[in-house]
Structure 1
Amino acid sequence: MAEEETKTTEAAPIVEAGKTSKWLTSNGFEHEPMGLDASGVEIIKVDAELLIPFATALYAYGFNYMQCQGAYDAGPGQELVSFYHLTKLSDNADRPDEVRLKVFLPRNNPKVPSVYWIWKAADWQERESFDMFGIIYEGHPSLKRILMPEDWQGFPLRKDYVSQDFYELQDAH
């Protein structure tokens, strides 16, 4: 009986909102703070349909540099994640502010708006995420494979990807 009581009284850890998260909340942008990454940078969960308003607001707030965009697979049957590492570059900062955005997407229809029109650095990075994970970046000017041949079947970095038995290389001699 005491063991059951312990299980029911344990609560999920409370995640304290960081500086950027507080700014977003004060400006009417509802979101879920996810804590800090290993480098101490705050992570914010954003819904796919709200990514462009969030990204635009963060750009206006000074996050003028997209350090990295990428994706990962949370596991077979789980969500795909598109992430964005943003930096606020300025002349008078010892260490620039940083924030990480994460957008969780369903495996069967992973679509998210492209941030290419805000940060041009997203161009090839979104193409790579498309190529390796099958995430559709809506509004991207040239969303096509960048690493795999155009006729490649599937998305090689998904954890449920089954490798082809044989793939013939064209013009390999």
Structure 2
Amino acid sequence: MAATGQEAAAMDSISRAPAPPAALNPTTDADGAAADGATDNPPPDPRKPGNNSDGGVETAEEAVEPSEPDINVLCRDMFDKMSVFLQGELTATCEDYRLLENMNKLTSLKYMEMKDISVNICRNLQDLNQKYASLQPYLDQINQIEEQVTALEQAAYKLDTYSKKLEAKFKKLEKR
């Protein structure tokens, strides 16, 4: 069944592609001027019915890629910029690793200093323990003497109290 009227017009507008941009037109250069001796006449618009004898069949034009020198320059520029970017990233990473290495070295030095200090403290503590052990008999004697002095002091207080009572009794007897 063939389409007629509005359906045919709709199908015809769908099947037609828009004209290629000037940058892809092989008859013009980048400035839009005619190149290779092309005439100033624009190509016929495929959407307008012309004096085609093929009955409205469109013809396709080959898409032409931009010239290679432009692509090569752009690719080289892109690779140069990517190289600079990656070089910067790698440099930053290397600097981070150098910083970590320096921090690790400093930390290692601090731990070695702390180890030396703790070894000295341990040695001094052992010396003090030995000296305390050698003084222990004398300290025990001092403790015994202190206990004896305390007992003697208690005895002196008792004797003093007893002598005061005796004196009080003696005075009482004298008064009678």
TM range, smaller chain: under 0.3
* TM-score of the two chains, using structure 1 as the length reference: 0.17
Higher RCO (Cα < 8 Å, 6 or more apart): 1
Query: Which structure shows the higher helix fraction?
Result: 2
* TM-score of the two chains, using structure 2 as the length reference: 0.17
